[in-house]
Amino acid sequence: MTAAVAQGGMAPPTVSAARRAPKRVLPGFKITLGFTVFYLALIVLIPLSALLFKT
């Protein structure tokens, strides 16, 4: 029965399927880090630029 299924058209998994990236421990970490850095930069850079313009 397995020989009939193998010949029936279902191809074995390719090498690219085996090379898929492993699942991350923290999904969404990159986007969360991006938002965090962006907002911290705004919180720090806006007051700092105001100080520079004021002097």
- pLDDT mean by block of 10 residues, the chain; 55 residues: 58 66 78 92 90 88
Rounded Cα distance, 55 and 38, in Å: 26
* pLDDT for res 54: 86
* pLDDT for res 12: 65
* pLDDT for res 29: 87
Rounded Cα distance, 28 and 12, in Å: 31
The full set of domain ranges for the chain reads 24-55
* pLDDT for res 33: 92
Total count of residues recorded for the chain = 55
* pLDDT for res 17: 60
